[in-house]
């Protein structure tokens, strides 16, 4: 994917270096230069943190598809479709769009987010359906965002993020989730915004595959029931002329 991105931008393709790690090679082929040790470790940790996370939307979609005895490719495709959504894997793209707007307009991060809340807009990257405390993955990504920013001379992305996090936590009692600091981390690593979700998919592919295999080991069709909550029957029948 990194090589394709360079082709898309009209840049020469960089060959992999077999002496480097998977993460270092990805950044080498993406950016054209050997990454720093800090950048290499940051991507390596990010890939591990995103590898699996219980029955999230994309993993559940993969298992539902696998349960029909469709093939692995179809199950993974279902997962990717779910991951694309801005309430799932696409959330870090939405976070970075906010950061980029604040940076471009030289706006105050707290004032910008305060205005979002006043307009009843959702601030992406906060809250979680499972965690009531801080997402443990966010703990590591926060540190990576800080260290990368300092080592690369781009501390503003972390600093903006930190101010937003402190404000939202105080104002809405919401904690940052995995998506919030992955936005600034991925950007400083040299990834364009439209690569954020594909990199999430690269990370999660091992988790999806493991869940599909587990599903098929003792398979039952996943078929939840729906409970009708409409008006009680029988409803009076009206002829077409009176409807």
Instruction: Please give the Cα distance from 197 to 107 (Å, whole number).
Output: 26
Enclosing H/E stretch for 76: helix 72-83
Task: Give φ, ψ of 176 to 5 degrees.
Answer: -65, 145
- Are 129 and 172 contacting, i.e. CB atoms less than 8 angstroms apart? no
Q: 3-state DSSP helix/strand/coil percent for the chain, to nearest 5?
A: 60, 0, 35
Q: State the Cα angle at 28 between 102 and 58, rounded to 5°.
A: 65
**CB-neighbour burial class of residue 32 (10 A; exposed 0-12, middle 13-18, buried 19+):** middle
Residue 17 among the catalytic residues: no
CB 211 within 8 A of CB 63: yes
Report d(CA 99, CA 123) in Å as an integer.
11
Residues present in the chain in total? 243
Q: Which of 5, 50, 179, 187 is catalytic?
A: 179
Q: Which of 5, 50, 128, 140 is catalytic?
A: 128
The whole-angstrom distance between residue 83's C-alpha and the CA centroid of its chain comes to 8
Annotation marks residue 50 as catalytic:
no
Residues identified as active-site: 128, 179
């Amino acid at each position: 994917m990194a090589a394709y991105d360079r082709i898309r931008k009209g840049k020469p393709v960089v060959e992999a270096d077999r002496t480097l790690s998977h993460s270092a090679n990805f950044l080498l082929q993406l950016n054209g230069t050997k990454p720093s040790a800090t950048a290499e470790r940051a991507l390596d940790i990010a890939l591990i943190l995103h590898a699996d996370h219980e029955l999230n939307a994309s993993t559940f979609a993969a298992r539902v598809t696998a349960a029909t005895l469709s093939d692995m490719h179809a199950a993974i495709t279902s997962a990717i479709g779910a991951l694309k959504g801005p309430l799932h894997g696409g959330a870090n793209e939405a976070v970075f769009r906010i950061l980029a707007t604040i940076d471009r307009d030289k706006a105050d991060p707290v004032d910008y987010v305060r205005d979002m809340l006043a307009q009843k807009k959702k601030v992406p990257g906060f809250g979680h359906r499972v965690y009531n405390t801080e997402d443990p993955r966010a703990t590591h990504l926060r540190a990576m965002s800080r260290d990368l920013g300092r080592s690369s001379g781009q501390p503003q992305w972390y600093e903006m993020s930190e101010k937003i996090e402190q404000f939202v936590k105080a104002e809405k009692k919401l904690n940052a989730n995995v998506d919030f600091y992955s936005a600034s981390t991925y950007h400083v690593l040299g990834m364009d915004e439209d690569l954020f979700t594909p990199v999430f998919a690269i990370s999660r592919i091992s988790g999806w595959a493991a869940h599909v295999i587990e599903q098929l080991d003792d398979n039952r069709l996943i078929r939840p029931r729906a409970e009708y909550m409409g008006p009680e029957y029988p409803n009076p029948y009206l002829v077409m002329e009176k409807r």
